[in-house]
Amino acid sequence: METKQIFIDGKWVNSVSGETFVTVDPANGEPTAWIQRGNQEDINRAVKAARNAFEQDAWRDILPAERGRILLRMAQLIREKKDDLAKLETRDAGKPLSQSYADVEVAARYCEYYGGVADKILGETIPVRPDILDYTIREPMGVTAHIVPWNYPIQIATRSLAPALATGNTAVIKPAEDTPLTALCLAEIAQEAGVPDGVVNVVTGFGQEAGAALAKHPDIDQITFTGSVPTGIAVMKMAAENVKPITLELGGKSPNIVFADADLSEAADWVVRSIIQNGGQTCSAGSRLLVEKSVEKQFVELIVERMKRLRIGPGLEDPDLAAIVSEKQLNRIESYMQVARDENVTTVTGGYRVTGGSLSKGYFFAPTVFSNVRPDSRLAQEEVFGPVLVVIPFESVQEAVSLANHTEYGLVTAVWTTDINKAHFVASRVRSGQVFINNYGAGGGIEMPFGGYKKSGFGREKGLEALKHYTQLKNIALRIKP
């Protein structure tokens, strides 16, 4: 197996301890690579390199337009390497190959989008009084930390890295230990695109070691974290010790709200896609189906019919539903099957690990639908992070809104109806960072601000709104003497 090094100050190096760990292909349980197990000392080296790079003229004095051109070159290189990157992402995360290709394209688009706005980050003048010229400028935060989850490794790493670089920051990336391979490729791509040494650093390792060391490092100026609520709370506490700003994108229990007047066939297609994408291992997965009671039976039949046609297999064969990322995550999903039994819900379809033949050594789980689910139950409230859909009926618009808001999350909501007044009323009442009407964007395009209410986190990624998290505002007042 290949041994992967960490990337610090423009060089590929081993971890200080020399320890390594193994990544595994979720499709067959086979080891794929040896990865350096970075720790506090490696994080210290990476942060020092990023700090030095931030203070050096080689990065500080690059014109904004040139930063933009660097990002555009990164986008071009990502596209040139798309075949290798997509296959690597599938081997690492288990997802269908077509989804990996889509993730690689999104990574390129982040670089392209933020490359295009690098020289358009503007301040403003403020009329204070005739003898004062008052204006604002946006300056980079400094050294930014990027703690990346395992479900969309290349996409989410680039989601925060691109705006950070566009605004003149330097970066230390800590990818998830389950899926570190494409983040290491991003470091190589950044270097090839002309990013100066030390501006982008990638330290692989475990969350409790390298991740925690990065989150609590006193010389970090800003942290972006995507992951679970408990880990997000821990990262926020570490950041608070050093009074560091943080952007948190956490979990979700996102509802598809289907009214009886909707195009039920089209809605069923989208509902299925929204729960099986990446095996349901998506913070914005449509894991709750709120359906008007008069069409509940009909609509659930449409869902089941579509799920039974899904092809399940290794990601490189590009099935509809591929492997779960790890045995640990598969066990977590299976544990909720016992919760379902304890809560006495009805298993409409699925509810079991898929084994047999070429799938016997991998981590596969059947698409699952539960009905007769109580709104207050664990299945309705907790994030399973798998291809598991719970069905909850409603009888009025007000009840639909109440059920949609009846979790500690508020990331994405979809509304399915042909009544435009109803659609806008629901959109105005749900407590959700994104609302889709007659579609489900699962986070949406790179131009659309993305983030949550309540325990889904705070701050916004994507779009122009994200730039605010990687800059700080300075006000300058100049007195004009006659």
Single-letter residue type at 329: Q
By CB atoms closer than 10 A (0-12, 13-18, 19+), residue 418 is exposed
As given in the structure block, the two tokens for residue 64 are 């904004």
Q: What angle do CA 253, 321, 111 make, to 5 degrees?
A: 70
pLDDT at 444: 63
Q: Assess if CATH 3.40.309.10 describes domain 255-445.
A: yes
- 473: which residues sit within 8 A by CB, 6+ positions away? 123, 136, 137, 138
pLDDT at 442: 53
The kind and range of the H/E element at 158 are helix 153-166
CA distances to 43, 56, 325, 469 from 459, rounded to whole Å, are 25, 29, 27, 8
pLDDT at 1: 82
Closest CA to 272 of 237, 227, 317, 320: 320
SS3 255: strand
User: Where do the structural domains in the chain lie, given as residue ranges?
Assistant: 2-250+458-476, 255-445
Count of residues in the chain: 482
- Domain covering 2-250+458-476 in this structure, CATH number: 3.40.605.10
Instruction: Please say whether the beta carbons of 300 and 369 come within 8 A.
Output: yes
CA dihedral over 46, 51, 54, 56, signed as positive or negative: negative
**What does the pLDDT profile of the chain (482 residues) look like in tens digits?**
889 999 999 999 999 999 999 999 999 999 999 999 999 999 999 999 999 999 999 999 999 999 999 999 999 999 999 999 999 999 999 999 999 999 999 999 999 999 999 999 999 999 999 999 999 999 999 999 999 999 999 999 999 999 999 999 999 999 999 999 999 999 999 999 999 999 999 999 999 999 999 999 999 999 999 999 999 999 999 999 999 999 999 999 999 999 999 999 999 999 999 999 999 999 999 999 999 999 999 999 999 999 999 999 999 999 999 999 999 999 999 999 999 999 999 999 999 999 988 899 999 999 999 999 999 999 999 999 999 999 999 999 999 999 999 999 999 999 999 999 999 999 999 999 999 999 998 556 899 999 999 999 999 999 999 999 999 999 999 999 98
What does 388-413 look like in DSSP terms, one character per residue?
EEEEEEESSHHHHHHHHT-SS--SEE
Single-letter residue type at 399: E
Closest CA to 385 of 36, 149, 145: 149
* Cα–Cα distance, 193 to 358 (Å, whole number): 40
Choice among 89, 249, 383, 461 that is catalytic:
249
CA distances to 21, 281, 346 from 372, rounded to whole Å, are 43, 23, 6
The kind and range of the H/E element at 12 are strand 11-13
φ/ψ region of 203 (left if φ > 0, alpha if ψ in -120 to 50, else beta) reads beta
- 313: which residues sit within 8 A by CB, 6+ positions away? 319, 322, 358, 359
Instruction: Please say whether the beta carbons of 423 and 267 come within 8 A.
Output: no
* DSSP tag of 450: B
SS3 420: helix
Instruction: Write down the pTM of the prediction.
Output: 0.96
As a dihedral over the C-alpha atoms of residue 261, residue 264, residue 267, residue 268, rounded to 10 degrees, the angle is 150
- 102: which residues sit within 8 A by CB, 6+ positions away? none
pLDDT at 443: 52
Strands 255-258 and 246-249: unpaired
* Cα–Cα distance, 282 to 407 (Å, whole number): 17
Is 249 a known active-site residue? yes
Q: What confidence tens digit (pLDDT) does each residue in 349-396 have?
A: 999 999 988 899 999 999 999 999 999 999 999 999 999 999 999 999
* Cα–Cα distance, 69 to 114 (Å, whole number): 10
CA distances to 209, 337, 380, 402 from 345, rounded to whole Å, are 40, 10, 11, 21
pLDDT at 441: 82
* Cα–Cα distance, 328 to 424 (Å, whole number): 41
* Cα–Cα distance, 257 to 430 (Å, whole number): 11
As given in the structure block, the two tokens for residue 213 are 């060391």
